């Protein structure tokens, strides 16, 4: 039977708010993709430079549900239907699972972890082909599916609490709770490691995250029931405070594990595709000078040279997620002047370099996947 969303989710679907049906909502997926990208090594600077693209496009998968019905079956798996999971003998690939249970049955039960594995393979191919636009899209989608794995309710038949009288929990836990508390999720930067066994490690790590996530289903239901009593049978602030108190710690742990796995998969896909030896077509164009041009959004700071203050101005022609920062000649980020979403308009800020040694610096404006830079000279 096809999954039926809760009444609140159905209302949002009718009025067109399809993004709200995403596991963790847009903010949860966004922070997993963003912090995963920030964990990539400096040798993958091309990927780190577009961290906000991965964040901004973390929910593209959910937007495709409108025109692609199959997308709904890719974002969950009902593990109770597979006794092999509890014996840790699940088939390693989707084809083997389909041979055992039938393609139609597997589709109805969802196949999220296998889709994540397919996206990992696709990412290796797009990187090896030097297809940067394809790599951007596949990486963002991979992060989304890994984020789905961190959502316990995507792993169970009892996805909306309908089997335990916790009806509507999917909306309350995935969307509303995350909208209220996503800014309290704390991520640590953990360097991704090279797979020791490239053939088996991707599968093992994806299913390990799936196991950790599935283990929290009962805890979510208990927290929901207890919070409903505490709030005197109202889904109010007292209810969400109580739920977060019980689930916040393991929710943070799962999202951290998701960000780490996302970074690890991207890093290993890049290594398998050639790593630093990968040649992107735009690299060749840039080396030939065909694409050298003045920044069109970021103005030259004034005064320049300066000591110790200078004014930096830039213009946005549309809404962007912006990061304005100062780097030294070694590519080290010395100061973040602004980070967040800004609407169309002209902006300016003052940079104070009194605590930096004199020398050459670069101010860099990142707008989603677009980057512009200007050279600044601090005289002391």
Q: Which helix (H) or strand (E) holds 349?
A: strand 345-352
pLDDT at position 291? 44
- Where do the domains of the chain lie, and which CATH numbers do they carry? 14-277 (1.10.575.10), 309-378 (2.60.40)
pLDDT band of 17, cuts 50, 70, 90: very low
Query: Helix %, strand %, coil % for the chain, to 5?
Result: 55, 15, 30
Look at strands 345-352 and 309-316 and give their pairing.
Answer: antiparallel
Whether the pLDDT of residue 356 is over 70: the answer is: yes
pLDDT at position 28? 87
**What percentage of the chain has pLDDT greater than the value 70?**
90
pLDDT at position 66? 83
Q: Return mean pLDDT, the chain.
A: 89
pLDDT at position 331? 67
**Residue 98 dihedral angles phi and psi, to the nearest 5°:** -65, -35
pLDDT band of 183, cuts 50, 70, 90: confident
d(CA 221, CA 226): 9
> Which of 7-21, 149-163, 281-295 shows the highest mean pLDDT?
149-163
d(CA 237, CA 177): 10
d(CA 222, CA 219): 5
- Helix and strand tally (H, E) in the chain? 16, 6
Give the tokens for residue 59.
Answer: 């929910």
Whether the pLDDT of residue 9 is over 90: the answer is: no
pTM above 0.85, yes or no: no
For the chain, the distance separating the N- and C-terminal CA atoms, rounded to the nearest angstrom, is: 71
Whether the pLDDT of residue 73 is over 80: the answer is: yes
Whether the pLDDT of residue 207 is over 80: the answer is: yes
d(CA 217, CA 167): 14
pLDDT band of 10, cuts 50, 70, 90: very low
**Residue 267 dihedral angles phi and psi, to the nearest 5°:** -60, -45
pLDDT band of 305, cuts 50, 70, 90: very high
pLDDT band of 11, cuts 50, 70, 90: very low
Cβ atoms of 337 and 324 closer than 8 Å: yes
pLDDT band of 328, cuts 50, 70, 90: confident
Q: Pick from 73, 72, 54, 52: which is nearest to 62 by CA? A: 72
pLDDT at position 16? 39
> Which of 69-83, 213-227, 321-335 shows the highest mean pLDDT?
213-227
Beta strands per DSSP E along 150-276? none
């Amino acid at each position: 039977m096809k999954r039926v969303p809760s009444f609140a989710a159905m209302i949002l679907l009718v009025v067109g708010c399809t993004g709200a049906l995403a596991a963790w909502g847009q903010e949860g997926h966004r922070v997993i993709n963003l912090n995963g990208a920030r964990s990539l090594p400096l040798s993958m600077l091309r990927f780190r430079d577009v961290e906000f693209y991965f964040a901004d496009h973390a929910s593209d998968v959910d937007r495709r549900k409108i025109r692609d019905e199959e997308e709904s079956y890719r974002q969950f798996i009902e593990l109770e239907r597979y006794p092999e999971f509890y014996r840790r003998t699940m088939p390693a690939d989707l084809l083997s699972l389909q041979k055992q249970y039938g393609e139609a049955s597997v589709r109805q039960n969802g196949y999220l972890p296998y889709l994540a594995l397919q996206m990992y393979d696709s990412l290796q191919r797009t990187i090896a082909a030097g297809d940067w636009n394809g790599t951007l899209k596949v990486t963002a989608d991979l992060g989304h599916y890994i984020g789905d794995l961190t959502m316990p309710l995507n792993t169970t038949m009892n996805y909306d609490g309908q089997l335990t009288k916790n009806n509507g929990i999917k909306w309350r836990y995935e969307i509303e709770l995350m909208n209220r508390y996503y800014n309290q999720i704390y991520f640590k930067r953990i360097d991704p490691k090279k797979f020791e066994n490239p053939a088996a490690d991707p599968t093992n790590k994806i299913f390990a995250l799936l196991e950790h996530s599935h283990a929290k289903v009962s805890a979510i239901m208990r927290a929901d029931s207890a919070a409903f009593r505490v709030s005197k049978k109202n889904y109010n602030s007292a209810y969400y405070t109580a739920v977060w108190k019980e689930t916040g710690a393991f929710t943070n742990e799962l999202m951290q594990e998701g960000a780490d796995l996302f970074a690890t998969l991207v890093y290993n896909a890049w290594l398998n595709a050639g790593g630093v030896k990968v040649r992107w077509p735009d690299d060749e164009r840039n080396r030939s000078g065909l694409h050298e041009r003045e920044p069109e959004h970021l103005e030259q700071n004034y005064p320049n040279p300066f000591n110790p203050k200078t004014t930096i101005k830039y213009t946005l022609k549309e809404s962007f997620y912006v990061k304005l920062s100062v780097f030294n000649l070694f590519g080290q980020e010395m100061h973040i002047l602004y980070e967040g979403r800004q609407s169309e308009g002209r902006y300016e800020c003052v940079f104070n370099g009194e605590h930096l040694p004199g020398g050459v610096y670069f101010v860099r404006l990142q707008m989603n996947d677009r980057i512009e830079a200007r050279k600044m000279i601090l005289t002391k």
